[in-house]
Amino acid sequence: MSENLHIIEHPLLKAKLTVLRDKNTNRQTFRRTLSEVAMLMTYDLTRNIPVKSIEVETPLEKTRGVELHKDVTLVPILRAGLGMIDGILELLPNARVGHIGVYRDKTTLLPVEYYLKLPDNVNETFVILVDPMLATGGSALAAIEILKKQGIKDLNFLCLVAAPEGVKAVHDRFPDVRIFAAALDRQLNDHGYILPGLGDAGDRLYGTE
């Protein structure tokens, strides 16, 4: 669909995604598996993260290595995005975490913004926007617009499952945003849910409806 859509292919990731899709997966397993999936996906997303060369000394001699060239900022879309943060922090423990409160009205399917807290100088960092589902694209578009207004030009969006409609909506408006997903599903149903999907990730994480 787009050169900036990256479907992360890995047998272990597919197996864990199957656990998340299963309606019989209990809440504890869902939370743990979502965190594990986020960690696996972050490994691939950061493949091209900027680094700089440094010198270190081994027990035997000096050698060259690398360290991250930019700070990393994670920005989960509340509330379901929070379920992925712990897994990402396993790989990026020094990352800063901002928060964007955007939810999709279940009647109008339009995004409603209710909270925003971002670290200072966020536009100078490597930013990863996080939300398990990219359905209609409404919440993602609202969050991306907020981040763009902060001067962020190099933006990565990490989601678990994406619908073609959501991917198209994001890339029609923000073609430079890189989307990383574990799966591109078939379509949306009449209520704006992804098919086959895995239901409402937030509800399954927190036991609400």
Please name the residues in contact with 23: beta carbons below 8 A apart, sequence gap of 6 or more: 199
Sign of CA dihedral 122, 127, 130, 136: positive
Residue-number span of the structural domain to which 142 is assigned: 5-206
State whether residue 124 is helix, strand or coil: helix
pLDDT in tens, 31-41: 999 999 999 99
What is the b/e burial string over 13-49, where b = at least 16 CB atoms within 10 angstroms of the residue's CB?
beebbebbbeeebeeeebbbbbbbbbbbbbebbbeee
Q: What is the CATH number of the domain that holds 93?
A: 3.40.50.2020
Q: Which residues are catalytic?
A: 104, 108, 200, 203
pLDDT in tens, 163-198: 999 999 999 999 999 999 999 999 999 988 999 999
pTM for this prediction: 0.91
- For the chain, how many structural domains are there in total? 1
**Whole-angstrom Cα distance, residue 144 to residue 124?**
16
**Whole-angstrom Cα distance, residue 44 to residue 182?**
11
pLDDT in tens, 7-30: 999 999 999 999 999 999 999 999
Task: Give the pLDDT confidence score for residue 105 in this predicted structure.
Answer: 74
Angle separating helix axes 82-91 and 27-45, nearest 10 degrees: 50
State whether residue 142 is helix, strand or coil: helix
pLDDT in tens, 133-142: 999 998 999 9
Structure tokens at 47: 């493949």
> Which region holds residue 126: left if phi is over 0, alpha if psi is between -120 and 50, else beta?
beta
**Residues 122 and 157 sit within 8 Å (Cβ to Cβ):** no
